[in-house]
Amino acid sequence: MKFEGEHLLPGQLGHFFVLLAFISSLLSTIAYCTASFKKELVEKASWIKWSRIYFYIQCFSVFAVFAFIFIICSNHYIEYLYAYKHTSKELEFKYLLACIWEDQGGSFLLWSIWHCVLGLVLIRKSKEWEAPVMTVVSVAQLFLAMMIMGVYISGVKIGNSPFVLTRNGIDAPIFNRPDYLNLIKDGVGLNVLLRNYWMVIHPPILFLGFASTIVPFAYAYAGMQSKRFGDWVKPAIPYALFSACVLGVGIMMGGKWAYESLSFGGYWAWDPVENASLVPWLIMVAGLHTMVIYKATGHSLRASYFFILLSFLFVLYSTYLTRTGVLGDTSVHAFTEAGNAMTNLLRTFLWFFVLGSLGMFFFNYKKIPAVIKEESTTSREFWMFIGALVLFLSSMFIIGLTSIPVYNKTTGISWLVNKFNGGPLALPEDPEFAYNKVMALVAIIIGILTAVTQYFKYKNTGNKEFLRKIALPTFIAALITVSLAIFYPVDYDKKGPGFLIALYLALFATIYAVTANAMYIKTGLNGKLKAAGGSVAHLGFGLMIAGMIISSGNKKIISEERYKAFAIPMGVDPLTKQQDNAAENINLIRHLPTRMGDYHVTYLNDSAGHEKDRRFFHLLFQRKNEQTKAVTESFVLTPDVYIMKDNNMSSNPDTKRYPTHDVFTYISYTINPENNIDTGSYKIVELKKGDTAFYSKGYLVYNGPNKNHKRIIPGTPLMHVAADITVVAKDSSRYHAEPVIMVEREDPFLVKAGKDSVKLTPLDDTMYAQNLYLRFVNVDPVKETIQLGIKESERMIDFVTLKAYVFPYINLVWLGLLLMSIGMLMSMFYRLKVPGSSTIAVLLITAAWLFYMFFIATN
Amino acid sequence: MKRTHIVMLVAIALAIGALLMLSTDFSTYDTIDSARNKQGKFVHVIAKLDKTSPIEYDPATNPNYLAFTAVDSLGGKTKVVYRNTKPAELEHSERVVLKGKMQGEVFECKDILLKCPSKYKDDQKELEKGIGSSQ
């Protein structure tokens, strides 16, 4: 059958380039691998020449694949499954990229693109290491190309192609018609949860972080392959710094996204997906420190190999965890069940690198040089190594807990688990606390090590000198911690005094890291900022963790029952014998101010957005002086909700940012306005000035007409007047109402020749708090009376259910991250001996960009 | 400082970690019937919303009270109370992971994880349904 209107060319070309990418990466792997084993220089050079050509072809193909996917999506060619699943015509252009990485294939492609970019840099910069380093990059590219290949090789499907046609991908009778494209109006579109600028920017940064872990890994391989076991460390350190910096920023961008745009109520929840990216980062940072130790003293080379190899291997393991659906029941993230084609390929990818690299490491273990002499306890390298070890162990702890679903699915282990746990293993009642209680201890150790280690010298340090220099920062940190404890105590007693003490110790340790590193720039480096990258990064790290303790420890859910005007004692529920949980959601009735913490919050009104099904709710927050009742603070937050036709909703929060705290709110429930149709009718009463009329909850008084009313008038009527009405409810609360009547010209099409007719249009006023609608129906100038329509709605009262938080000092977290990344870049440029002026330029641009992303940008 | 000392330090760290983890009360995945036998113990139950029974949720009176009936694959049935707002898509979920405790005949739920077909963009059935409705 011939189908009408299909654009088959982009798909065919795209598929061709996928295959070309596969073949060229295979060839460049073989050529680079051969080159790396050639001793003879001329021969080696000619192999490298060919390898480069294959790699260039491979890069071109990957970019071409991306270009064709982009063409298909931007033109909404919904004959392709990719476009049908991820795009829709109402989608704004800026989300087009987000559509592309929403797909599993698209994110593998993104990863592959970054490998291409890094590979091109390595070809220029890696000199004698090029052949072995690029062998590793090419193998990884080979696997990534297979992920998006979607071909059958001897009956086994390899990967999923992004160029599958909708009619081949979905089985439906509609595809028996040649004109099916005329019948499908639009694609499914981007998941509303992901319609947000973070979805555009976060995946590229995070994937650059993931992709960049391969470079130190490849250098470690090159060290073993070339038998020059220690020489790879020096050129690999800048790449490790780059990787730690980008991955760190990527992870925290995810946190910022979760905090700002998703209704998780925080930036970190120990969700498996978050953990999966944190673990490679922790190991990379551990490896970075052991590499620095090796370069300075010759110690810790074996540990450097181990950590750098594991960092990349855990990127692969994380990919496996998050892409195969194995975490299905434990994460709030929606996972795609990848299907066997993908799961098996990912397993092969993982096992290939695990067995290959670790096998090589253990095979060469004895040959890797190690210093026989032990480190002195007063040496810098000793404490750096301990710090790296603690980071590594903490990462093993995190991945150990995250992998719980894997244990339940692995035969043998699952039997053991069942026996000891009395059923398949699951995280405890408070999963976050299971992580926090261990990580608080880790923060204490790491904080103190971060503070003191730089004050030790390599090899050996005089005790006196060390104590003299460390005394002042220690004192200042203790002073800050004590004054915080007195004036701004961490208010977190939910987990008992033991954990609170641990939090205070961790707070001291991280503040100590800040003060000690800040002062080290002066006392240790004599203010030499160029060399201060490490100190700045450590300072930022300390600040970030301290900010996390302060902001999370003092987070308040102000929509909780207990922050209302009067405290309701919380007791034991007679039915369930449970301690009443603090009801965290609050109802706001339209126009009725409600107390929440220090604020009086009023739901003003709602409005529709320019996107389909999106509603914005305007909430007025006011803080009043207790004595004078004067408003001291006032702002409007506008959280919004996508309401879908089947009553499903997706909520986007809104945040008021202050330097010291954030006020954060989102709609946790709202009724669909379409299902809330009013069936009541108006009761007409005739009123003279001063007359009274009754309604079920009170009465109202007509005070007379008012031409200078405050209502906003739509259009340009000939005349308008309001009826000034006072509503007095049974609870003696008073409201002022101004229903308006307008005299307008009749629709010009209906005007009969020579006759200028007018019509009366009412503009109702609504007392939402009383569920009362008032309509100015008519006016009788002779009797001086008005006709007033009174309606008591049968419609559900207009309200929203929301949750609101106050996050204090969350900006410390973002500021700490910014400093940490800048410090890492400073250190990287210093080691690469980049001239000062270009370093400053790049640092300034990066700092400005990060500042914009984390402090200014709003949805 | 000898290597042995480092090993000791690490061993101490591991011991502290292990002690902390032992004090952690890990939960289990249970069926509704086995959860009923573990009264008051925090468990995870994988179940389905019973669409034949009504969902009780009246946000205007109390936005923090949701009650519904859950059934599991073995036919166990229980009333579930969740003191929070009704998660969007509850009615459309094909599977729910309920985290909480059995209190008598009522499952006091602390957290609900929904598995919805619409979240799985690659779900074939859902796409077929989508195509079907666009005709």
Segment A45-78, tens digit of pLDDT:
999 999 999 999 999 999 999 999 999 999 989 8
Segment A705-736, tens digit of pLDDT:
888 887 767 667 788 888 889 888 877 778 88
Shortest CB distance from A423 goes to which of B30, B84, B132? B30
- Res A752: pLDDT: 52
Shortest CB distance from A334 goes to which of B59, B120, B131? B120
Q: Which residues of B touch A188 (CB under 8 A)?
A: 121, 127, 130
Shortest CB distance from B28 goes to which of A170, A421, A577? A421
Dihedral pair phi/psi, residue A80, rounded to 5°: -95, 135
Please say if the pLDDT value at position A750 is more than 70: no
Return the top range by mean pLDDT from A55-69, A195-209, A529-543.
Answer: A55-69
Q: Which CATH number fits domain B27-120: 2.40.50.140, 3.90.930.12, 3.30.70.3040, 3.40.50.11540?
A: 2.40.50.140
- Angle, helices A214-225 vs A104-125, to 10°: value is 50
- Res A576: pLDDT: 37
- Res A772: pLDDT: 81
Residue A75: count of CB within 10 angstroms of its CB: 13
Please say if the pLDDT value at position A579 is more than 50: no
Ramachandran category for residue A618: left, alpha or beta (phi over 0 → left; psi -120 to 50 → alpha)? beta
- Res A130: pLDDT: 95
Shortest CB distance from A170 goes to which of B21, B46, B128? B128
- Res A646: pLDDT: 57
What's the average model confidence in pLDDT over A653-677?
A: 80
Whether residue B63 and residue A586 make contact (CB cut-off 8 A), yes or no, is: yes
Segment B120-130, tens digit of pLDDT:
444 555 566 66
Segment A815-830, tens digit of pLDDT:
999 999 999 999 999 9
Kindly identify which residue of chain A lies nearest to residue B23, measuring between CA atoms.
Answer: A434
Q: Which residues of A touch B27 (CB under 8 A)?
A: 425-429
Distances (CA, A) of A137 to A143, A235, A319, A471, A737: 10, 16, 17, 48, 72
* Average pLDDT value over all residues in chain A: 85
Kindly identify which residue of chain A lies nearest to residue B93, measuring between CA atoms.
Answer: A648
Given pLDDT bands bounded at 50, 70 and 90, which one contains residue A756?
low
Give me Rg for the CA atoms of chain A: 33
Please say if the pLDDT value at position A574 is more than 70: no
Percentage of residues in chain A having pLDDT higher than 70: 90
Q: Which residues of B touch A393 (CB under 8 A)?
A: 10, 13-14, 17
Give Cβ neighbours of residue A26 (< 8 Å, ≥ 6 apart).
A142
CA-based nearest distance B20→chain A, Å:
7
Measured between CB atoms, does B48 come within 8 Å of chain A?
A: no
d(CA A398, CA A318): 12
Q: Are A666 and A651 in contact (CB under 8 A)?
A: yes
Percentage of residues in chain A having pLDDT higher than 90: 37
Return the top range by mean pLDDT from A570-579, A695-704, B2-11.
Answer: A695-704
What's the average model confidence in pLDDT over A773-786?
A: 84
- Res B21: pLDDT: 67
Segment A288-339, tens digit of pLDDT:
999 999 999 998 999 999 999 999 999 999 988 888 877 766 665 545 555 6
Q: Which residues of A touch B89 (CB under 8 A)?
A: 648
Counting beta carbons within 10 angstroms of the beta carbon of residue A60, is it exposed (0 to 12), middle (13 to 18) or buried (19 or more)?
Answer: middle
Helix%, strand%, coil% for chain B, nearest 5: 30, 35, 35
Measured between CB atoms, does B131 come within 8 Å of chain A?
A: yes
Q: What ipTM is given for this predicted complex?
A: 0.83
- Res A351: pLDDT: 95
Please say if the pLDDT value at position A661 is more than 90: no
Q: Which residues of B touch A797 (CB under 8 A)?
A: 60
- Res A333: pLDDT: 58
CA-based nearest distance A775→chain B, Å:
26
Shortest CB distance from A170 goes to which of B26, B116, B124? B124
Please say if the pLDDT value at position A469 is more than 80: yes
- Res A231: pLDDT: 93
Measured between CB atoms, does B72 come within 8 Å of chain A?
A: no
- Please spell the DSSP secondary structure of A723-762, one letter per residue: EEEEEEETT--EEEE--EEEEEEPPTTTPPTT---EEEEE
What's the average model confidence in pLDDT over B30-58?
A: 87
Segment A13-51, tens digit of pLDDT:
999 999 999 999 999 999 999 999 998 999 999 999 999
Shortest CB distance from B59 goes to which of A169, A393, A801? A801
CA-based nearest distance A828→chain B, Å:
30
CA-based nearest distance B49→chain A, Å:
16
What's the average model confidence in pLDDT over A180-203?
A: 80
Q: Which of A48-57, A678-687, B97-106 has the lowest mean pLDDT?
A: A678-687
Q: Which two tokens stand for residue A788?
A: 């007033």
Whether residue A584 and residue B24 make contact (CB cut-off 8 A), yes or no, is: no
Please say if the pLDDT value at position A538 is more than 80: yes
Dihedral pair phi/psi, residue A448, rounded to 5°: -65, -40
Given pLDDT bands bounded at 50, 70 and 90, which one contains residue A612?
low
Q: Are A74 and A99 in contact (CB under 8 A)?
A: no
- Res A438: pLDDT: 87
- Angle, helices A9-37 vs A41-74, to 10°: value is 160
- Res A797: pLDDT: 65
Q: Which residues of B touch A328 (CB under 8 A)?
A: 115
Q: Which two tokens stand for residue A514?
A: 């800040």
Measured between CB atoms, does B79 come within 8 Å of chain A?
A: no
Interface test with B, best of A578, A580, A613 (most B CBs within 10 A): A578
Give me Rg for the CA atoms of chain B: 21
Q: Which two tokens stand for residue A307?
A: 């950590």
What's the average model confidence in pLDDT over A602-627?
A: 80
Kindly identify which residue of chain B lies nearest to residue A371, measuring between CA atoms.
Answer: B3
Q: Which of A380-384, A756-760, B66-70 has the lowest mean pLDDT?
A: A756-760
Please say if the pLDDT value at position A375 is more than 80: no
Given pLDDT bands bounded at 50, 70 and 90, which one contains residue A609?
low
Kindly identify which residue of chain A lies nearest to residue B25, measuring between CA atoms.
Answer: A428
Measured between CB atoms, does B99 come within 8 Å of chain A?
A: yes
Please say if the pLDDT value at position B13 is more than 80: no
Given pLDDT bands bounded at 50, 70 and 90, which one contains residue A575?
very low
Shortest CB distance from B103 goes to which of A576, A583, A801? A576
